Structure 1
Amino acid sequence: MTQTGIPFVFMRGGTSRGPYFNRADLPADLDTLAEVLIAAVGSGHPLNIDGIGGGAAVTTKVAMLSRSEDDWADIDYFFAQVSVEDKLVDFKPTCGNILSGVGPAAIEMGLISPTGDSTDIKIRAVNTGAQVEATVATPGGHLTYEGDTAIASVPGTAAPVALKFMGVVGSATGQLLPTGNLRDTFDGIEVTCMDVAMPVVIARAEDFGLTGHESAEDLDANPDFFARMEAIRLQAGAAMGMGEVTKSVTPKFAFLAPAQNGGTIATRYFMPWKTHPSMAVTGAQCIASCALTPGSVSDGMLDRPSDSPANVVLEHASGTIEVLVDFTANNGFDLNAAGLVRTARKLADGQVYVPATIWSGHPDA
């Protein structure tokens, strides 16, 4: 046998897509696991021509699921970001869009049984320790992908997947403000370094000579901006206690501007070496938290809600995303929980094949 077949479910989760695996079907060793995922996705080519990736960071993501041994959770969700071209795998971050498909995928894999017209699934994000409650539509005890919910950047409508995020403050660094400051300055640019669901370095668009309403394509065609941004991100990563982050996708980067289309605030989010075509679920929670925090770089850009929960509408590169934030603001900002509604759809299932020289298929390898 020259190839090893690995069972998978191929899902769109939110505005991302990729293979969802049963963790038990993959090598336990992380170095071998990384090689398997690189081969499966086809990392190393801009089109991922020798794998099932889609040639973009939002289509080279991987979810690995297992029944949880945690007292709180039903399912453990282990995430991997595979690079498009560099043959790198980052196990540090998580992805909220891919998480949108975890509940349906767990049912598809037989890891969870539907419990009625809707099924609540408690998910532990292994990478960050975050706790997420997902509510999946299962009318009559059967999983469905059909519904009336629309999300930006995804055509048509589908069944809603409601997500409630808890325990996401300091998910990567242990602190809401990893540098200890509401604002820091790197290379003359003022930023707020915040860690809610995802560590993000957040700036003002105008400080880069931008409006904050540019398209993703226009920003990607601006190498001078990316060079400035990356220099700031590297310094901020060190200041946040994350070490040398040159080859890590975290911390992410975002900038803010006043809203133009009735939202709370406008933003662009970076992955970090390309502009996100829409918005990451994890990044949305961090940006919404920044918008609600007095003294952050968001000051002066919005009429800040004072009542909790607050519905924060982020205007992004292809539409809007709403984050329902349950918070306390007695002294600063304390996040209790954040809720979003996404959709997911099963696209395919079967086996993906990797060369047996990479992995022979023994699960304890």
Structure 2
Amino acid sequence: MPTTTLRAPGQAGGARAAALVLALAAVLAGLLLGPTAGQAHAATDVRLLQRDLAGLSYAPLSGVDGVYGSRTTESVRHFQRDNGLDADGDAGPATLSALTAKVQQVQSKAGTPADGDYATATLNAVRTYQSAHGLDADGIAGPLTMGAMNIDRITSSGTGTSADTKLLQRNLAGLGYLAANGVDGIYGPATKDAVLSFQSDNALSVDGIAGPQTDAALSAKVQQVQSKAGTPADGDYGTATLNAVRTYQSAHGLDADGIAGPVTMASMGIARELGGGSPGARAAARPPSPRCPAAPGTRSSRPPAPSSACTSGAPTATRTARARRGARCSPAGPGGRPGSASAPPSAATSTTTDATTARCTAV
């Protein structure tokens, strides 16, 4: 007798319903959680992204493979840090817009259509530009090429963090290079101009980028101010330093605004400009003013100046008195009148006493 398999009624329909429910759940989860990294990158022209990154020297040309892997992610982070963007490695709309704009700047300077795609035509145009400007003609718009094109490669502090930018701005503002209300954590044009001014004053590469050398020089200058103001030299021109500098300024009769500008730094004996020296050093280097020969019986530590300098520098009344004394000591002329040097002296006048000679010598 044949056997039959008993099936619960509606079992097959129930399995299909369960699968449908799971599919709907996945769709809902995607809507709520957003696209996955793979889906997001699939929506991006990865090769275009990689060409632009490679053209600006953030990635090697060999990295243009269409795969959004760890190397591309790190290249994106590097670009984001240099341009004040959230360094998450994800080429979102803000990052893509900034990258395209930078490529278009390079293309415009190189004289090729600014389509935002660093492809073969752009490589060739940049090579031509580099050859004409004595640069390595590799077609890549690296730091030197962008510098020659006067394009800002870095528009942030290079760290990508607002806290570091604010420290930079506090120090620039404390030394009078930036307005106090410019401490906003954004590396914008005002901050760049302040960095340029500081670099120019301190014999640094004037590129507007607060790199390691600029940061070190700025921190050292702030520490000098802090030491003179009697506050811990931590290199951060914060509230404590502002207050300490105000106290110093008040004690030295300066405008007590807490800013170590040129006048305050000069008072502290700190060279604001490299090689400028302090006011005291400049005064010491100034040559001494000429002095007249010392009177008999006195000593002078300075060499005597020419007689013309003494004569021209003497007041009128003094010169007149000297002339009168000189007239009394000059040989007498005819009739005993003094001052007629052309007449030969008589025997009476030539036999002067030692006292008279002494008086005349001392004049």
Q: TM-score band, normalised by the shorter chain?
A: under 0.3
Instruction: Give 1 or 2 for the bigger CA radius of gyration.
Output: 2
More strand by share: 1
Q: Which has the higher contact order (CA 8 A, sep 6+)?
A: 1
More helix by share: 2
TM-score (normalised: structure 1): 0.18
TM-score (normalised: structure 2): 0.18
